[in-house]
């Protein structure tokens, strides 16, 4: 009997020790301070990350702030030294000066930029979509070689083709015209647009195209009804790149257009900066730059997720 009691007591004693061991850590006064350094270590990288991001945001946004505030300053305040941090007497006089002051109507040049940019975007999209679908789905002998040859044009600098393009546009009567400028922009946007659309279509599963073929769709119907809805991010990315490039381009517009009423907005701003209004009016110049960036900012904010998605989709192939 004593032996049995000796066998039964140790388990009870062990359970008692285990319960004491479980209760000890919960009542130990040092448990809470031990968690504090770990929390600090986790929060420090996050705080440093936010500090870096905030610094970069201020670095990039401050020039925009200076530009916008200058455009709303009065003429006397815009040339004050030292410059003021914000407009003390806000005025729209610089924006009114953009319309017809000094023989330059910037609104006409804005219209020219819109026509050229939209024309370039439309032409680039149509040609890139058709050619990109052909290279992605319609295999033919030498297709890869032809696609590579198209991409090689990236390495040809625009300055090397200025003289041939000038003579070609003059031969066809397109010099000093918005149509000729649109064709030049489209020519240089096509290679990258073709690259984006070809990779966007190549990322679409072939099963969707095969299902459309079973339903009796031809190549054009398959492209319009099946491929394009899936490749919308790539289409938007291609269109945005073409639009932004044509909207902000300066050198070609300066070379191929030589009449003030046909200038695009960047060329007109350079004329204003050179003192065409009688003096270098920084307020009018900053107002013109503000007008230039507004469409780009609005379009990018509205379509940013499609733009990023389209660029990322092209990197998967």
User: DSSP letter string over 92-143?
Assistant: -HHHHHTEEETTEEHHHHHHHHHHHHHHHHHHHHHHHHHHHHHHHH---TTH
Please tell me whether residues 123 and 270 are part of one structural domain.
yes
Nearest-angstrom CA–CA distance, 142 and 138: 12
Residue 201 counted as domain residue: yes
Q: Please name the residues in contact with 123: beta carbons below 8 A apart, sequence gap of 6 or more.
A: 182, 183, 186
Q: Is 91 exposed, middle or buried (0-12, 13-18, 19+ CB in 10 A)?
A: middle
CA separation, residue 24 to residues 17, 37, 56, 75 (Å): 11, 22, 50, 77
Nearest-angstrom CA–CA distance, 176 and 88: 43
pLDDT over 50 (residue 316): yes
Residue 26 counted as domain residue: yes
Nearest-angstrom CA–CA distance, 26 and 40: 22
pLDDT at 6: 46
Q: What is the pLDDT of residues 267-306, one digit of tens each?
A: 988 887 776 555 667 778 888 888 888 888 888 888 877 7
Please tell me whether residues 156 and 220 are part of one structural domain.
yes
Residue 80 counted as domain residue: no
Residue 117 counted as domain residue: yes
CATH number of the domain residue 129 falls in? 1.10.3720.10
Nearest-angstrom CA–CA distance, 240 and 124: 10
Name the DSSP letter for residue 216. Answer: T
Q: What is the pLDDT of residues 119-138, one digit of tens each?
A: 999 999 999 999 999 888 88
Residue 125 counted as domain residue: yes
Where does a domain end: 19, 40, 71?
71
Picking from 14-23, 59-68, 161-170, 221-230, which range would have the lowest pLDDT averaged per residue?
Answer: 14-23
Please tell me whether residues 67 and 113 are part of one structural domain.
no
Tokens of 227: 């491929």
Please tell me whether residues 166 and 292 are part of one structural domain.
yes
Residue 79 counted as domain residue: no
Where does a domain end: 71, 101, 117?
71
Nearest-angstrom CA–CA distance, 239 and 237: 5
For the chain, the domain total comes to 2
Q: What is the pLDDT of residues 55-114, one digit of tens each?
A: 999 999 998 898 888 888 887 887 777 888 888 888 888 888 777 655 677 888 889 999
Please tell me whether residues 19 and 134 are part of one structural domain.
no
Confidence of residue 217 (pLDDT cuts 50, 70, 90): confident
Residue 251 counted as domain residue: yes
Please tell me whether residues 111 and 162 are part of one structural domain.
yes
Nearest-angstrom CA–CA distance, 172 and 174: 6
Please tell me whether residues 35 and 134 are part of one structural domain.
no
Please tell me whether residues 7 and 97 are part of one structural domain.
no
Q: Residue 115: which of 253, 298, 284 has the closest Cα? A: 253
pLDDT at 24: 46
SS3 breakdown of the chain: % helix, strand, coil, rounded to 5?
Answer: 80, 0, 20
Nearest-angstrom CA–CA distance, 199 and 234: 9
- Asked if 107 and 291 count as a contact pair (C-beta separation under 8 A), the reply is no
Tokens of 29: 């006064």
Please tell me whether residues 100 and 51 are part of one structural domain.
no
pLDDT over 70 (residue 1): no
Check residues 81 and 165 and name the one with the higher pLDDT. 165
Residue 60 counted as domain residue: yes
Nearest-angstrom CA–CA distance, 226 and 231: 9
Please tell me whether residues 173 and 268 are part of one structural domain.
yes
Domain with 288, as residue range(s), is 93-313
- Asked if 190 and 242 count as a contact pair (C-beta separation under 8 A), the reply is no
Please tell me whether residues 107 and 216 are part of one structural domain.
yes
Please tell me whether residues 102 and 42 are part of one structural domain.
no
Phi, psi dihedral angles at 101 (to 5 degrees): -85, 135
Nearest-angstrom CA–CA distance, 202 and 281: 51
What SS3 class is residue 152? helix
């Amino acid at each position: 009997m004593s032996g049995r009691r000796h066998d039964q007591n140790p388990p009870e004693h062990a359970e008692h020790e285990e319960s004491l061991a479980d209760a000890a850590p919960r009542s130990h006064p040092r448990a809470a301070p031990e968690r504090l350094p770990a929390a600090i270590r986790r929060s420090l990288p996050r705080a440093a990350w936010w500090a870096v991001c905030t610094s970069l945001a201020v670095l990039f946004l401050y020039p925009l702030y200076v530009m916008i505030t200058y455009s709303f300053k009065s003429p006397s305040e815009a040339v004050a030294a030292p410059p003021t941090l914000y407009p003390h007497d806000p005025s729209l006089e610089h924006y009114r000066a953009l319309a017809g002051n000094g023989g330059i109507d910037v609104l006409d040049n804005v219209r020219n930029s819109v026509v050229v940019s939209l024309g370039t975007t439309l032409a680039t999209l149509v040609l890139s979509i058709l050619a990109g679908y052909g290279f992605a789905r319609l295999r033919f002998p030498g297709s890869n070689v032809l696609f590579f040859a198209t991409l090689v044009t990236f390495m040809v600098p625009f300055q090397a083709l200025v003289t041939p393009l000038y003579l070609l546009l003059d031969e066809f009567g397109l010099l000093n015209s918005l149509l000729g400028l649109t064709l030049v922009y489209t020519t240089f946007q096509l290679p990258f647009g073709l690259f984006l659309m070809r990779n966007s279509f190549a990322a679409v599963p072939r099963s969707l195209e095969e299902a459309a073929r079973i339903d009796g769709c031809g190549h054009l119907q398959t492209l319009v009804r099946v491929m394009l809805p899936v490749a919308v991010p790539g289409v938007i990315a291609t269109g945005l790149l073409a639009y932004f490039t044509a909207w902000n381009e300066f050198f070609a517009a300066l070379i191929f257009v030589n009449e003030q009423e046909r200038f695009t907005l960047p060329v007109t701003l350079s004329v204003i900066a050179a003192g065409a209004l009688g003096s270098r009016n920084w307020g009018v110049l900053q107002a013109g730059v503000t007008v230039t960036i507004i469409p780009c900012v609005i379009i990018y904010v509205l379509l940013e997720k499609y733009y990023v998605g389209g660029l990322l989709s092209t990197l998967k192939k």
